[in-house]
Structure 1
Amino acid sequence: MLKHTKNLLKDKLIIIAILITLSIAIISLIKLEKAPIQVNHIDKLEHAFAYFVLSLVWLLALKTTKINKYIIVFCCFFYGIIIEVLQVTTTSYRSGEILDIMANTTGILIAFIVYNSFFKKNKAI
């Protein structure tokens, strides 16, 4: 089953990574309705999760290329900063926050740790 899933996703990971990247940009820049129930700082968890997924998928998509994994991590970090700046400069209904950048960075670092831990033990995957 794992081998079948791996073969199915092998050629599509770049497309999935691009779609996730675009989705984060769109969700970050559109006007969203307020949730009926407000939980303090839940958006930081959402940021961390989104950038965890973004980073992990890009690391997996580019693992067979010569692109250094540290460059991928830096690009995800820089992308998060660009999105926060765009929220401040291009919208009147969104705000960029340092805490959002910190949450993004947390997600990126967790993805990096998971990626390194998993692929250090499973070289054949």
Structure 2
Amino acid sequence: MAKLFYWIAPVYTGLIIYFSISDSPAPPVEINNIDKLYHCGAYFIMALLWYFFFYSRFLTQQSHFKFTWKDMIAAWSRTIGLAAAIFSFIIGVIVELAQEYIAVNRTMDFMDALANTTGIILAICLIWLLSKRFNTYS
């Protein structure tokens, strides 16, 4: 399972960066601010993936510990959650800056950054809440 998390988070992040900076091939949707929901969802998933990435990297150092995704949620790590949140936030800020200064036909938008941050916070809060439910270590 650890090897899955070694590549899925970086690949997903790379795809988010690519599609955020490249010209948008999809036709616009006629729902007001639907892109904010896309941003929130994309960064929600990104923060979850980076949490599992960092946690699996930590746990592979513990040779005696066999783990599943449920174990990683149950044994909540505030440090790893914070690292995943900060890393995802930095990626979001870099992408917004790249949209302003590098991308063609893209502009930086504070509301996009706010939607990204909302998705990140929701993801970390979800893991924390699920840890309370799955926690068998206390």
Matches of 1:22 and 1:110 in 2, distance apart? 21
Instruction: Say whether 1:52 aligns with 2:41.
Output: no
Contact 2:47–2:124 (8 Å) recurs in 1: yes
For residues 13-50 of structure 1, the C-alpha deviation after alignment (integer angstroms, 9 at most, x for no partner) is 12000111100000101101352642111100000000
For residues 78-114 of structure 1, the C-alpha deviation after alignment (integer angstroms, 9 at most, x for no partner) is 1100000000000231011000000000100010011
Match of 1:105 among 111, 114, 117: 117
The letter for the 2-side match of 1:114 is: L
TM-score, with structure 1 as normaliser: 0.84
Q: What SS does the corresponding residue of 1:12 show, helix, strand or coil?
A: helix
RMSD: 1.8
Number of residue pairs aligned between Structure 1 and Structure 2: 116
Q: Which residue of 2 is the match for residue 88 of structure 1? A: 100
The letter for the 1-side match of 2:89 is: F
Q: What SS does the corresponding residue of 2:48 show, helix, strand or coil?
A: helix
Q: Which residue of 1 is the match for residue 32 of structure 2? A: 40
Unaligned runs of 5+ in 1: 1-8
How has the CA–CA distance of structure 1 residues 28 and 34 changed in structure 2, closer, same or farther, with 3 Å as cutoff? Answer: same
Contact 1:87–1:94 (8 Å) recurs in 2: yes
Q: Which residue of 1 is the match for residue 5 of structure 2? A: 13
TM-score, with structure 2 as normaliser: 0.76
State the percentage of identical aligned residues: 28
Contact 2:39–2:112 (8 Å) recurs in 1: yes
Contact 1:77–1:104 (8 Å) recurs in 2: yes
Q: Which residue of 2 is the match for residue 3 of structure 1? A: none
Q: What SS does the corresponding residue of 2:55 show, helix, strand or coil?
A: coil
Q: Which stretch of structure 1 is more off in the superposition, 113-122 or 58-67?
A: 58-67
The letter for the 1-side match of 2:132 is: K
Unaligned runs of 5+ in 2: 60-78
